[in-house]
Structure 1
């Protein structure tokens, strides 16, 4: 399992893990913006700690949805 992880990390840094790196970045960026907006909105309106918790949970829940259609090489 450690070898699989090492191999994936090597391919990622070479830029050969995903078929379309631009699509990966765009999906990551969408998730980043959603989490940032939630964090700032809830942090200012309610409480910063609640904002961090809610944004983290939502961001983690969005990951499988955002990355479900990515193709690997």
Structure 2
């Protein structure tokens, strides 16, 4: 299991994990942007920072499978 994780990380940073790296990076950027916007909005409406970060991370993390559903791997 650990070897598979190391291999995937290595392929990701070499740009060889995804068949379309630009699409994968765009989807990652969308997830990061949604999470950041949620964090800022929740903090602005008065939620404590730890609650805002917890909720933003949970929502952003649950969004990743939806964003990555059509990505093809090599």
Match of 2:56 in 1: 55
Match of 1:70 in 2: 71
TM-score by length of 2: 0.88
| Counterpart secondary structure, 2:70 | coil
Runs of 4+ more than 3 Å apart:
none
Report how many residues are paired: 73
Structure 2, gaps ≥5 residues long: none
Q: Give the whole-Å Cα distance in 2 for the aligned partners of 1:34 and 1:13.
A: 23
Structure 1, gaps ≥5 residues long: none
TM-score by length of 1: 0.89
What is the deviation of 1:15?
0.9
